[in-house]
Structure 1
Amino acid sequence: MLRQNEVITTILRVFLGATFLIHGLAKFQGGIENTVGFFESLGLPGFTAYVVALIELIGGIAIVLGVGTRIISILFVIILAVAIVKVKLAVGFLGNDQMAGYELDLALMVISLYLAATKKSFLALDNLLFRSEKA
Protein backbone atom coordinates (compact mmCIF):
# COMPACT_ATOMS: atom_id res chain seq x y z
CA MET A 1 0.00 0.00 0.00
CA LEU A 2 1.30 3.42 -1.02
CA ARG A 3 1.87 5.82 1.84
CA GLN A 4 1.68 9.59 1.63
CA ASN A 5 5.29 10.01 2.81
CA GLU A 6 6.47 7.81 -0.10
CA VAL A 7 4.81 10.19 -2.58
CA ILE A 8 6.38 13.23 -0.89
CA THR A 9 9.74 11.45 -0.84
CA THR A 10 9.39 10.77 -4.57
CA ILE A 11 8.66 14.44 -5.27
CA LEU A 12 11.74 15.46 -3.26
CA ARG A 13 13.86 12.80 -5.00
CA VAL A 14 12.84 13.89 -8.51
CA PHE A 15 13.29 17.58 -7.66
CA LEU A 16 16.75 16.98 -6.20
CA GLY A 17 17.81 14.81 -9.11
CA ALA A 18 16.57 17.27 -11.72
CA THR A 19 18.30 20.16 -9.93
CA PHE A 20 21.66 18.37 -9.85
CA LEU A 21 21.26 17.08 -13.40
CA ILE A 22 20.74 20.63 -14.66
CA HIS A 23 23.70 21.95 -12.64
CA GLY A 24 25.98 19.18 -13.92
CA LEU A 25 24.85 19.73 -17.49
CA ALA A 26 25.43 23.48 -17.16
CA LYS A 27 29.01 22.88 -16.03
CA PHE A 28 29.74 20.97 -19.23
CA GLN A 29 27.72 23.21 -21.56
CA GLY A 30 29.25 26.38 -20.13
CA GLY A 31 32.72 25.01 -20.69
CA ILE A 32 34.10 22.74 -18.03
CA GLU A 33 37.39 24.65 -18.31
CA ASN A 34 35.70 27.62 -16.63
CA THR A 35 34.62 25.39 -13.76
CA VAL A 36 38.14 23.92 -13.53
CA GLY A 37 39.55 27.44 -13.26
CA PHE A 38 37.02 28.37 -10.58
CA PHE A 39 37.84 25.26 -8.54
CA GLU A 40 41.56 26.01 -8.82
CA SER A 41 40.95 29.60 -7.66
CA LEU A 42 39.40 28.08 -4.51
CA GLY A 43 42.51 26.01 -3.91
CA LEU A 44 40.91 22.78 -5.10
CA PRO A 45 42.58 20.54 -7.69
CA GLY A 46 41.20 21.19 -11.18
CA PHE A 47 40.20 17.56 -11.77
CA THR A 48 37.67 17.83 -8.94
CA ALA A 49 35.55 20.00 -11.25
CA TYR A 50 35.12 16.97 -13.52
CA VAL A 51 34.35 14.73 -10.55
CA VAL A 52 31.71 17.11 -9.21
CA ALA A 53 30.17 17.73 -12.64
CA LEU A 54 29.93 13.99 -13.33
CA ILE A 55 28.44 13.25 -9.91
CA GLU A 56 25.88 16.00 -10.49
CA LEU A 57 25.05 14.85 -14.02
CA ILE A 58 25.03 11.07 -13.60
CA GLY A 59 23.88 11.23 -9.98
CA GLY A 60 21.03 13.53 -10.97
CA ILE A 61 19.80 11.05 -13.56
CA ALA A 62 20.18 8.16 -11.13
CA ILE A 63 18.29 9.96 -8.35
CA VAL A 64 15.42 10.80 -10.71
CA LEU A 65 15.22 7.11 -11.61
CA GLY A 66 15.61 6.10 -7.98
CA VAL A 67 18.86 4.15 -8.43
CA GLY A 68 21.49 4.33 -5.71
CA THR A 69 19.57 7.08 -3.98
CA ARG A 70 21.23 6.73 -0.58
CA ILE A 71 24.81 6.69 -1.85
CA ILE A 72 24.30 9.51 -4.33
CA SER A 73 22.49 11.60 -1.72
CA ILE A 74 25.53 11.28 0.54
CA LEU A 75 27.78 12.39 -2.33
CA PHE A 76 25.48 15.39 -2.85
CA VAL A 77 25.78 16.25 0.87
CA ILE A 78 29.57 16.25 0.56
CA ILE A 79 29.49 18.45 -2.56
CA LEU A 80 27.09 20.88 -0.90
CA ALA A 81 29.06 21.02 2.34
CA VAL A 82 32.25 21.90 0.44
CA ALA A 83 30.36 24.49 -1.64
CA ILE A 84 28.98 26.13 1.48
CA VAL A 85 32.29 26.19 3.34
CA LYS A 86 34.57 27.12 0.42
CA VAL A 87 32.30 29.54 -1.47
CA LYS A 88 29.04 30.58 0.12
CA LEU A 89 29.66 30.89 3.87
CA ALA A 90 31.61 34.12 3.45
CA VAL A 91 28.67 35.85 1.74
CA GLY A 92 26.12 34.73 4.34
CA PHE A 93 22.78 32.99 4.26
CA LEU A 94 21.17 35.39 1.78
CA GLY A 95 24.30 36.41 -0.10
CA ASN A 96 25.23 39.83 -1.38
CA ASP A 97 24.87 41.82 -4.60
CA GLN A 98 27.45 39.65 -6.37
CA MET A 99 26.60 36.11 -5.24
CA ALA A 100 23.71 34.11 -3.87
CA GLY A 101 23.98 32.92 -0.29
CA TYR A 102 23.97 29.38 0.95
CA GLU A 103 20.21 29.09 1.56
CA LEU A 104 19.60 26.94 -1.56
CA ASP A 105 22.68 24.82 -0.91
CA LEU A 106 21.51 24.20 2.64
CA ALA A 107 17.98 23.31 1.50
CA LEU A 108 19.37 20.85 -1.08
CA MET A 109 21.63 19.40 1.61
CA VAL A 110 18.67 18.82 3.93
CA ILE A 111 16.74 17.10 1.12
CA SER A 112 19.80 14.96 0.39
CA LEU A 113 20.13 14.00 4.05
CA TYR A 114 16.46 13.08 4.17
CA LEU A 115 16.78 10.87 1.08
CA ALA A 116 19.93 9.24 2.46
CA ALA A 117 18.01 8.30 5.62
CA THR A 118 14.75 7.26 3.95
CA LYS A 119 14.15 3.61 3.21
CA LYS A 120 11.77 3.85 0.29
CA SER A 121 10.12 6.13 -2.21
CA PHE A 122 7.47 5.51 -4.81
CA LEU A 123 8.50 4.73 -8.41
CA ALA A 124 12.16 4.09 -7.56
CA LEU A 125 14.13 1.44 -9.42
CA ASP A 126 15.84 0.62 -6.11
CA ASN A 127 12.50 -0.93 -5.06
CA LEU A 128 12.80 -3.45 -7.90
CA LEU A 129 16.53 -4.03 -7.55
CA PHE A 130 16.63 -4.43 -3.77
CA ARG A 131 13.37 -6.05 -2.71
CA SER A 132 13.02 -6.87 0.96
CA GLU A 133 12.01 -10.30 2.20
CA LYS A 134 8.62 -8.90 3.22
CA ALA A 135 7.73 -7.99 -0.37
Structure 2
Amino acid sequence: MKNTVTILMRVVLGVLFLAHGVSKLQMGLDNVAGWFDSIGLPGFLAYVVAGIELVGGIMLILGLLTRYVSVVLVIVLLGAVFTAKLSAGLLGNGQSAGYELDLTYILIALYLAVAGSSGLSLDRVLFRKSEQN
Protein backbone atom coordinates (compact mmCIF):
# COMPACT_ATOMS: atom_id res chain seq x y z
CA MET A 1 0.00 0.00 0.00
CA LYS A 2 2.85 2.40 0.87
CA ASN A 3 4.41 1.82 -2.57
CA THR A 4 1.10 2.54 -4.28
CA VAL A 5 0.68 5.81 -2.39
CA THR A 6 4.29 6.79 -3.16
CA ILE A 7 3.76 6.09 -6.86
CA LEU A 8 0.55 8.13 -6.84
CA MET A 9 2.25 11.03 -5.07
CA ARG A 10 5.15 10.97 -7.52
CA VAL A 11 3.01 10.80 -10.64
CA VAL A 12 0.47 13.40 -9.49
CA LEU A 13 3.21 15.82 -8.43
CA GLY A 14 4.87 15.24 -11.81
CA VAL A 15 1.63 15.97 -13.66
CA LEU A 16 1.12 19.16 -11.62
CA PHE A 17 4.63 20.43 -12.35
CA LEU A 18 4.29 19.52 -16.01
CA ALA A 19 1.01 21.47 -16.12
CA HIS A 20 2.68 24.50 -14.51
CA GLY A 21 5.48 24.35 -17.08
CA VAL A 22 3.01 24.06 -19.97
CA SER A 23 1.04 26.95 -18.51
CA LYS A 24 4.15 29.13 -18.57
CA LEU A 25 4.71 28.21 -22.22
CA GLN A 26 1.09 29.06 -23.06
CA MET A 27 1.38 32.44 -21.30
CA GLY A 28 4.53 33.10 -23.29
CA LEU A 29 7.90 32.86 -21.61
CA ASP A 30 8.61 36.50 -22.43
CA ASN A 31 5.50 37.47 -20.46
CA VAL A 32 6.56 35.28 -17.55
CA ALA A 33 10.05 36.79 -17.72
CA GLY A 34 8.46 40.25 -17.56
CA TRP A 35 6.54 39.25 -14.46
CA PHE A 36 9.73 37.88 -12.88
CA ASP A 37 11.40 41.25 -13.63
CA SER A 38 8.45 43.07 -12.05
CA ILE A 39 8.97 41.28 -8.73
CA GLY A 40 12.70 41.88 -8.74
CA LEU A 41 13.93 38.57 -10.16
CA PRO A 42 16.07 38.26 -13.27
CA GLY A 43 13.78 37.54 -16.22
CA PHE A 44 15.92 34.67 -17.48
CA LEU A 45 14.86 32.69 -14.41
CA ALA A 46 11.42 32.31 -16.00
CA TYR A 47 13.03 30.12 -18.67
CA VAL A 48 14.96 28.14 -16.06
CA VAL A 49 11.88 27.58 -13.88
CA ALA A 50 9.69 26.62 -16.86
CA GLY A 51 12.34 24.13 -18.00
CA ILE A 52 12.65 22.64 -14.53
CA GLU A 53 8.88 22.32 -14.24
CA LEU A 54 8.52 20.70 -17.68
CA VAL A 55 11.47 18.33 -17.52
CA GLY A 56 11.14 17.70 -13.78
CA GLY A 57 7.46 16.91 -14.16
CA ILE A 58 8.14 14.39 -16.91
CA MET A 59 10.99 12.83 -14.92
CA LEU A 60 8.75 12.44 -11.87
CA ILE A 61 6.00 10.84 -13.94
CA LEU A 62 8.54 8.35 -15.30
CA GLY A 63 10.23 7.89 -11.93
CA LEU A 64 13.63 8.92 -13.29
CA LEU A 65 16.16 10.36 -10.81
CA THR A 66 13.24 11.01 -8.48
CA ARG A 67 15.29 11.97 -5.43
CA TYR A 68 17.38 14.54 -7.28
CA VAL A 69 14.47 16.00 -9.20
CA SER A 70 12.49 16.31 -5.98
CA VAL A 71 15.30 18.28 -4.32
CA VAL A 72 15.48 20.67 -7.29
CA LEU A 73 11.71 21.14 -7.17
CA VAL A 74 11.86 21.92 -3.44
CA ILE A 75 14.42 24.64 -4.23
CA VAL A 76 12.16 26.10 -6.94
CA LEU A 77 9.16 26.01 -4.60
CA LEU A 78 11.07 27.68 -1.76
CA GLY A 79 12.14 30.36 -4.23
CA ALA A 80 8.51 30.92 -5.21
CA VAL A 81 7.39 31.16 -1.60
CA PHE A 82 10.10 33.58 -0.50
CA THR A 83 10.11 35.79 -3.59
CA ALA A 84 6.50 35.89 -4.73
CA LYS A 85 4.07 34.49 -2.20
CA LEU A 86 5.21 35.10 1.37
CA SER A 87 4.03 38.71 1.40
CA ALA A 88 0.50 37.58 0.42
CA GLY A 89 0.27 35.33 3.47
CA LEU A 90 -0.58 31.68 3.86
CA LEU A 91 -3.97 31.86 2.13
CA GLY A 92 -3.34 34.85 -0.12
CA ASN A 93 -4.60 38.39 0.08
CA GLY A 94 -7.33 38.52 -2.55
CA GLN A 95 -4.91 39.84 -5.17
CA SER A 96 -2.37 37.05 -5.27
CA ALA A 97 -2.19 33.45 -4.19
CA GLY A 98 -0.83 32.40 -0.85
CA TYR A 99 1.73 29.71 -0.28
CA GLU A 100 -0.41 26.95 1.25
CA LEU A 101 -0.32 24.85 -1.93
CA ASP A 102 3.43 25.36 -2.25
CA LEU A 103 3.88 23.98 1.27
CA THR A 104 1.96 20.87 0.27
CA TYR A 105 4.09 20.42 -2.85
CA ILE A 106 7.24 20.94 -0.77
CA LEU A 107 6.23 18.24 1.69
CA ILE A 108 5.42 15.77 -1.08
CA ALA A 109 8.71 16.52 -2.86
CA LEU A 110 10.63 16.17 0.42
CA TYR A 111 9.00 12.81 1.02
CA LEU A 112 10.00 11.69 -2.49
CA ALA A 113 13.55 12.99 -1.96
CA VAL A 114 13.83 10.73 1.08
CA ALA A 115 11.72 7.76 -0.05
CA GLY A 116 12.77 7.62 -3.69
CA SER A 117 10.55 6.56 -6.55
CA SER A 118 9.38 3.17 -5.28
CA GLY A 119 7.62 0.57 -7.38
CA LEU A 120 6.94 1.34 -11.01
CA SER A 121 9.75 3.66 -12.06
CA LEU A 122 12.66 4.01 -14.42
CA ASP A 123 14.90 4.40 -11.37
CA ARG A 124 14.03 0.86 -10.35
CA VAL A 125 14.51 -0.52 -13.86
CA LEU A 126 17.72 1.36 -14.70
CA PHE A 127 19.41 1.35 -11.34
CA ARG A 128 17.89 -1.83 -9.88
CA LYS A 129 16.59 -0.01 -6.83
CA SER A 130 14.65 -2.23 -4.51
CA GLU A 131 11.21 -1.27 -3.27
CA GLN A 132 12.68 -1.07 0.23
CA ASN A 133 14.25 2.40 -0.40
Q: With structure 2 as the length reference, what TM-score do the two structures score? A: 0.93
Residue of structure 1 in register with 2:22 after alignment: 25
Aligned residues: 130
Q: How do residues 105-116 of structure 1 correspond to structure 2 at under 5 angstroms?
A: 105-116=102-113
Q: 1:120 offset after TM fit, Å?
A: 4.1
**Whole-Å Cα distance in 2 between the matches of residues 17 and 120 of structure 1?**
12
Q: 1:97 offset after TM fit, Å?
A: 1.1
Return the match for 1:117 from 106, 110, 114. 114
Is 1:84 the equivalent of 2:81?
A: yes
What per-residue deviation string (whole Å, max 9, x for no partner) do you get for residues 55-109 of structure 1?
A: 0001101100100111110111001001001111111111111112100001001
Counterpart residue identity of residue 38, structure 1: W
**Whole-Å Cα distance in 2 between the matches of residues 93 and 44 of structure 1?**
21
Q: Which runs of 4+ in 1 moved over 2 A?
A: none
Is 1:64 the equivalent of 2:51?
A: no
Q: 1:48 offset after TM fit, Å?
A: 0.9
CA RMSD of aligned residues (A): 1.2
Is 1:127 the equivalent of 2:124?
A: yes
**Whole-Å Cα distance in 2 between the matches of residues 103 and 121 of structure 1?**
27
Specify every segment of 5 or more residues in structure 2 that has no aligned partner in the other structure, as ranges.
none
**Whole-Å Cα distance in 2 between the matches of residues 13 and 130 of structure 1?**
18
Q: With structure 1 as the length reference, what TM-score do the two structures score? A: 0.92
Counterpart residue identity of residue 27, structure 1: K
**Whole-Å Cα distance in 1 between the matches of residues 80 and 107 of structure 2?**
14
